[in-house]
Chains A and B, each alone.
Chain A
Amino acid sequence: MLPSLLAVLVALLPVVYLFVRASEAGPQGWLEVLARPRTWELVGNTLLLAVLVTAATLIGGVPTAWLLARAQLRGRAVWAALMALPLAVPSYVAAFVWVSGPLRLSGLFGAWMVLTLSTMPLVILPTVAAFRRGDRGHEEVARGLGLGPWRTAWRVTIPQALPAASAGALLAFLYVLFDFGAVSILRYETLTRAVFATYRASFDRSATATLALLLVVLTVAAVAAEQLLRGRARKHRVGAGAPRPLGGVSLGRWAPVAYGWLSFVAVLGVGVPAASLTYYTVIGRQRSVDFPELLGAMSATVWLSLLGAAVTVLLAIPVGVLLARYPGRRAMVVEQLSYAGHALPGIVVGLGLVFFALTVAPGLYQTTAIVVLAYAVLFLPKAIGATRTAVASAPPVLDDVARSLGRSSWGAIRSVTLPLAAPGVLAGGLLVLLTAMKELPATLILRPTGVDTLATELWTRTTVGAYSAAAPFAAALVIVAAIPASWLARASDRVSEEEL
């Protein structure tokens, strides 16, 4: 219990200090910020973009998922990988690619397109899984009752996948609320961008803190809405239903449309970024790459994210054990609180920790430690989720046996639970590592002077339009992040094999 409180403390630190800082201005200050038309313009912009992106991911993602899960598709594995791959490209890299390309996309349309491409996998992946899990018996029954294939799809198949799709869509919605890099690069003014701009260009930081809190309120509302919706839409499957061999629906004359659509998505989401980064780095380079700087940024990225992953996992282990082994109201409170990172955009966490460091711990200001702390806050939920699942998959009776054989309760956890949970915990660590490598806003605000990660180097160059100088950093980031991503893919393969 006690060690898990540490995680809670860490998770709440930024919000608390944000609140402290915002309340320095008093209700007067809050009202002043809320009274500005600008504030509501930003809220409107943010929600508009989030809604448009979410709608597009649903409309584009569900049919794509159906194709991947149910259709007779040549090269299914390749298509599936191509549809998931945009997740490996940070949204600001995609934004960089599109803003610097011949189309010079920007503004609402650019932000909408880039973020839709970046977040569509969030809808596709769970929906594919839902389509696969879905009981085909129902479809056969529907066909047997005289429904044609289209009406069967509409009335039976799609409703089965809808809970998964909407959960994914809400992730996409949050992603847009949180996104800082892409909207900044594409010059679309959302709350995150305004928080950063006022932070940089304002003597009155309590107003900035108030804006940040407003963003927190929006995200909390979105998370609450998600839980409400999920609660209502929970689908129960009656009976196990024997799994049937994957036959797949024949596409017939629709095949060209299907392949055309998949190619279109793959080209926009993967092809263009890959081609553009290759072009800039290899062919269209105007200046030679500054290798020492590139290497420096690479090692800073790896070092910071490794530390972040380690600390996050260490903090997450007690919480994961608590949740899996001692569920109850207290555990639930701990869980909810340490999940604060889920509702906090990176920019907000960064800002909160700046305030914390300046008022409480000046020694931490602009240090590696505070960047690592920010990663811990942001990515604790990922690590806790992984740890909890991993610990829960180790049967508690094994702990009992270990204790009856003379181990203390911690001894039992160490000698039985953790070795069993280790692969899952490690996978969680890899996930944190991967995400931390791509983190931009908090790193930007908190990093020690002279320390640049690939993400911050890319950002500073992109904001001054030095696209060809930025490209090697973008390429390096994609490549470096591919390493934990591939480990993660392999780890999850192994896990699912063991489950089978």
Chain B
Amino acid sequence: MRAPVRVVTGVVAALAVAASLAACSSDDGDASGDADLVIYTGRSEEQVGDLIDRFEEDQDVTVDVRYGDTAELAVQLLEEGDDSPADLFWAQDAGALSAVDEEGMFSTLPKGVLAKVPEEYQSRDGAWVGTSGRARVFAYNPTLVPQSELPESVFDLTEPEWANRVAIAPTNGSFQAFVTAMREAEGDDVAEQWLTDMKANGAVAYESNVLILDAVDAGEIDLGLINHYYWYQKAAEVGEDQVTAEIDFFEPGDPGSLVNVAGAGVLTSGEDNPLATEFVKFLLSPESQEYFVEVDKEYPLIDGVAPQEGLPPLAELQGPQVELYELADLEGTLQMLTETGWI
């Protein structure tokens, strides 16, 4: 009996020591204090984890990454303000970047960095720069949707024939950018009506583009709005002939064909950290751009790196008549998604 009591007291004492250690370490502020660079990114670890590892090895530094939804991290940055522990924001879409930019939370990137990317894929004031391109497409299951019935516009999807057959990812940054683009191009009323009609038409909310594509592929749902590269990733992973789902573009000029970028900007809270700019340069290096092409199946944005074979050239894609930097009203889009019951 005596021995167990002693063991128990020992364990309790050990726990107490551990607890007080925790209390001490919390005095030093956030646990990421020992990292050389802190990145908030709306891109998923699956897609960019290896690339960040490469940067860590190249520079021999430690990078802490907070993965999350693009909008979530944008909101978080705005809430944190100048106290943000983050040095750099790497978003999944231009809209969130512009929203953060509007609050003046980005410092200006060096001209040399900006010059690498065409002007339409960066902000006007040099606050952020696109790092890779992507196009909005729809994925469909050809056994459920014959070629002849494919929609021409996202506005077709509110018709009764599409009732309960369409998947969207309302918490996803790319989808939100698409909504913002629709608002810019067609007006708020049209966009809000579309969201309301989609809800009424039984469109299904998924957590992510990947899940939509999987569901379409499995025949769980007929059609879904995603980014193009998810299909190419899946095809590369399991073999093209194993993928039942196919993708197609809405007609040119349709909001559903938005061409968007993932992009990065150095936060004012990371202004003094040279590694932040270094990381943006790294993303725009040929090595990284090839990674985006080969691993993520996205469009490269610098000269000298070719896109994946079989993809239509980026310049030929025609989205709605909207500049990327105009997609800044993420707040309004989120508000609209909430009011229409999508979030």
Contact = CB atoms under 8 A, between A and B. Distances in A.
B65 A449 contact: yes
Given A187-B204, A449-B32, 20 more contacts: A104-B218, A187-B207, A201-B171, A203-B331, A203-B334, A205-B79, A309-B15, A365-B83, A366-B30, A368-B22, A372-B22, A419-B8, A422-B8, A425-B12, A449-B38, A449-B64, A450-B65, A460-B44, A464-B208, A465-B213
Interface in A173-210: 184-185, 187, 189, 194, 197-205, 207
Contacts of A205: 75, 79
B46 A461 contact: yes
Given A425-B12, A449-B65, A463 B220 contact: no
Interface string A101-117: 00010100000000000
19 contacts: A38-B341, A197-B343, A201-B75, A201-B176, A306-B15, A306-B18, A310-B16, A311-B22, A363-B30, A364-B26, A367-B26, A368-B25, A368-B31, A448-B30, A449-B38, A449-B86, A450-B64, A465-B210, A466-B210
A203 B26 contact: no
* Residue of B65, B71, B207 contacting most chain A CB atoms (<10 Å): B207
B5 A310 contact: no
* Residue of A36, A368, A469 contacting most chain B CB atoms (<10 Å): A368
Contacts of B67: 460
Interface string B1-34: 0001100110110011011001101110111100
Interface in A59-112: 104, 106
Contacts of A368: 22, 25-26, 31
A362 B83 contact: yes
Contacts of B205: 187, 189
A194 B338 CA distance: 10
B80 A365 contact: yes
Interface string B175-195: 010000000000000000000
Interface in B258-279: none
A464 B330 CA distance: 22
A311 B19 contact: yes
B67 to A, nearest CB: 6
A460 B15 CA distance: 30
A359 B220 CA distance: 45
B78 to A, nearest CB: 7
A426 interface: yes
B207 A463 contact: yes
A465 B208 contact: yes
A313 interface: yes
B337 interface: yes
A358 interface: yes
A369 interface: yes
B287 interface: no
A36 B199 CA distance: 14
A36 B339 contact: yes
* Residue of A203, A362, A451, A469 contacting most chain B CB atoms (<10 Å): A203
Nearest to A465: B210
Interface in B63-93: 64-69, 71-72, 75, 78-80, 83, 85-86
Contact of B29 (A201, A363, A425): A363
Contacts of A463: 207-208, 211
B22 A314 contact: no
Interface of B: 4-5, 8-9, 11-12, 15-16, 18-19, 22-23, 25-27, 29-32, 35, 38, 40, 44-46, 64-69, 71-72, 75, 78-80, 83, 85-86, 170-171, 176, 204-208, 210-211, 213-215, 218, 220, 237, 330-331, 334-335, 337-339, 341, 343
Nearest to A462: B207
A429 interface: yes
Contacts of A358: 79-80
A247 interface: no
A206 B79 CA distance: 12
* Residue of B64, B65, B211 contacting most chain A CB atoms (<10 Å): B211
A135 B78 CA distance: 63
Interface string A279-317: 000000010000000000000000000110111011000
B16 to A, nearest CB: 6
Given A450-B32, A464-B210, A200 B15 contact: no
Contact of A202 (B25, B40, B215, B334): B334
A477 B66 CA distance: 21
Given A197-B171, A307-B19, A41 B341 contact: yes
A369 B22 contact: yes
Contact of A200 (B23, B30, B68, B86): B68
Interface string A395-429: 00000000000000000000000010011011001
A37 interface: yes
